[in-house]
Amino acid sequence: MLRFIVRRLLQLIPILLGLSILLFAWLRALPGGPAQAALGERATPEAIARYNELFGLDEPLIVQYLRFLGRAVRLDFGTSARTGRPVTTEFLERMPGTIELTIFAMIFAIGVGIPLGYLAARKHGSWLDSASVIGSLLGVAIPVFFLAYLLRLVFAVELGWLPGSGRQDVRIDATRITNFYVLDGLLTREWDAAWDAVLHLILPAIALGTIPLAIIVRITRASVLDVVNEDYVRTANAKGLATSTVRRRHIIRNALLPVSTTIGLQTGLLLSGAVLTESVFSFGGVGSALYDAIFARDFAVLQGFILMLAVVYVLVNLLVDISYGLLDPRVRVR
**pLDDT by residue (tens digit) across 150-172?**
888 889 888 888 888 888 887 88
Whether pLDDT at 273 is above 70: no
- pLDDT of the residue at 329: 54
In this prediction, what percent of the chain has a pLDDT beyond 70? 91
pLDDT band for position 34 (cuts 50, 70, 90) = low
**Residue 22 vs residue 244, higher pLDDT:** 22
CA 242 vs. chain centroid, Å, equals 40
**Residue 241 vs residue 150, higher pLDDT:** 150
Are 217 and 132 in contact by the 8 Å Cβ rule? The answer is yes
Torsion of CA 233, 123, 259, 107, to 10 degrees: -130
Spell out a b/e string for 261-291, using b for 16 or more CB atoms within 10 Å of the CB, else e.
Answer: bbbbbbbbbbbbbbbbbbbbbebbbbbbbbb
pTM: 0.81
CATH architecture entry for 95-331: Orthogonal Bundle (1.10)
- pLDDT of the residue at 104: 92
Please spell the DSSP secondary structure of 65-115, one letter per residue: HHHHHHHHHTT---B-TTT-SBHHHHHHHHHHHHHHHHHHHHHHHHHHHHH
In terms of average pLDDT, the best of 9-13, 62-66, 193-197 is 193-197
pLDDT band for position 108 (cuts 50, 70, 90) = very high
Whether pLDDT at 331 is above 60: no
**Residue 144 vs residue 239, higher pLDDT:** 144
Return the number of other C-beta atoms located less than 10 Å from residue 149's C-beta.
Answer: 15
pLDDT per residue over 40-93, tens digit each? 666 677 777 777 777 677 777 788 888 888 888 888 887 887 777 888 888 888
- Average pLDDT of 161-188? 85
- Residue range(s) in the chain whose domain bears CATH number 1.10.3720.10: 95-331
- Cα(149)–Cα(133) distance, rounded to whole angstroms? 24
